[in-house]
A and B are shown apart, each in its own frame.
Chain A
Amino acid sequence: MASRRPSDPASLQPVDLADSTSDFDSPDAPRKNRLDAPISGPKLGPLEFVRWVWRVLTSMRTAIILLVLVAFASIPGSLVPQRSSDPNGVIVFRDANPELFQFYESIQLFDTFTSVWFSAIYLLLFISLIGCIVPRTLYHWRILLAEPAAEPASWVRLPFRRREPAVGGTAASLDRAEAVLRTAHYRVVRNDTSIRAEFGYLRETGNLVFHVALVGVLATLAVTGGYGWSGQRAIIEGQTFTNQLASFDSFHPGSWFSEQNLEPYGVTLESFTAEYTQDAVNDAWMPIDFTAKVSVAEGDATREVVLKVNEPLAAGNSQMYLLGNGYAPVITVRDPQGTVVFDQPVVFLSQDSNLTSVGVVKVPDGLSEQLGMQGFFYPSAVDLDSGALSSNNPEPTNPTVTFNIYTGDLGLDSGVTANVFQLPVESLTQIAGRHTGNDVMLTPGDVFELPGGLGSIEFTSLRRFIGVEIRHDPTQMGVAISLFFVVAGLLASLGTRRRRVWIRARGTARTPELEWGGMSRGDDPRLDASLDRLVGKTLLSAAAKMRGK
Chain B
Amino acid sequence: MTNNLESISLIATYSAMAVYTLAFILFTVDLAGRAASDGQSPPTRWLRSGMAVLLLGFAIHFGAVITRGISAHRVPWANMYEFGLTATLVLVGVFLGINIWRDVRFVGAFVSGFAILALGIVAVNFYVAVSPLPPALQSYWLVIHVCVAVLGTGFFATGAALSASQLFQQSREEGKLQTRSWRFLAAFPSSETLEALAYRIIVIGFVFWTFTVIAGGIWAERAWGRYWGWDTKEVWSFIIWTLFAGYIHARATRGWRGRPAAILSLVGFGAVLFNYGIVNVFFKGLHAYSGL
Contact = CB atoms under 8 A, between A and B. Distances in A.
A230 interface: yes
Interface string A109-124: 0001100000000000
A200 to B, nearest CB: 16
Contacts of B253: 14, 16-18, 60-61, 64
Contacts of A89: 284
Interface stretch (B14-22, B155-163, B179-187, B219-227): B219-227
Interface in A77-116: 77-78, 81-82, 84-86, 89, 112-113
A290 B235 contact: no
A146 interface: no
Nearest to B256: A64
Interface in B183-234: 196, 199-200, 203, 207, 210-211, 214, 217, 219, 221-227, 229-232
Contacts of A72: 239
Interface string B249-279: 1111111110000001000000100000001
Interface string B128-152: 1101111110110100000000000
Contacts of A426: none
B245 interface: yes
Contact of B252 (A309, A490, A491, A522): A522
Contacts of B139: 310
Interface residues of A, number: 59
A263 B271 CA distance: 44
Given A71-B242, A476-B221, 10 more contacts: A17-B253, A18-B257, A64-B250, A74-B235, A287-B135, A288-B134, A310-B136, A471-B225, A473-B221, A490-B210
9 contacts: A70-B242, A74-B242, A77-B235, A85-B229, A113-B230, A288-B132, A310-B138, A321-B223, A323-B225
Contact of B133 (A18, A71, A288): A288
Nearest to A322: B135
Contacts of A81: 284
A469 B226 CA distance: 10
Given A74-B235, A279-B129, A487-B210, A68 B242 contact: yes
Contacts of A64: 246, 249-250, 253, 256, 264
Given A18-B257, A86-B284, A309 B230 contact: no
Contacts of A78: 232, 235-236, 279, 283, 285
Nearest to B260: A64
B148 to A, nearest CB: 12
B154 to A, nearest CB: 18
B243 interface: yes
Contacts of A289: 135, 138
A494 B236 contact: no
A487 B139 CA distance: 23
A487 B230 contact: no
A308 B133 CA distance: 14
A523 B252 contact: no
Nearest to A522: B252
Interface of B: 128-129, 131-136, 138-139, 141, 196, 199-200, 203, 207, 210-211, 214, 217, 219, 221-227, 229-232, 235-236, 238-239, 242-243, 245-246, 249-257, 264, 271, 279, 283-286, 290
A288 B135 contact: yes
A71 B246 contact: yes
A77 B230 CA distance: 8
Nearest to A112: B230
- Interface majority SS on B: helix, strand, loop or mixed? helix
Interface centre among B133, B203, B221, B257 (most CB of A within 10 A): B221
Nearest to A89: B284
B222 A311 contact: yes
List the 8 shortest-distance A-B pairs measured between CB atoms, nearest first: A321-B225, A67-B246, A309-B135, A60-B253, A78-B235, A469-B225, A78-B232, A71-B242
A121 to B, nearest CB: 10
- Residue from the set B238, B271, B285 with the largest chain A CB neighbour count within 10 Å: B238
Given A16-B254, A473-B226, A494-B203, A286 B246 contact: no
B135 A308 contact: yes
A281 B129 contact: yes
Nearest to B290: A286
A525 interface: yes
A78 B287 CA distance: 13
Contacts of A202: none
A75 interface: yes
A175 B64 CA distance: 58
A471 B254 CA distance: 47
A33 to B, nearest CB: 11
A249 interface: no
A193 interface: no
Nearest to A274: B135
B252 A21 contact: yes
Max chain A CB contacts within 10 Å: which of B229, B246, B256?
Answer: B246
Interface in A1-27: 14, 16-19, 21
A428 interface: no
A401 B238 CA distance: 45
B252 A75 contact: no
A479 interface: yes
A487 B199 CA distance: 19
Taking each of A71, A82, A323, A469, which has the highest tally of chain B beta carbons within 10 Å of its own beta carbon? A71
Contacts of A288: 132-135
A54 B203 CA distance: 29
A246 interface: no
Interface string A298-339: 000000000011111000000101010000000000000000
A250 interface: no
B207 A494 contact: yes
A280 interface: yes
Contact of B135 (A63, A230, A310): A310
A476 B221 CA distance: 9
B269 to A, nearest CB: 13
A441 interface: no
A81 to B, nearest CB: 8
A486 interface: yes
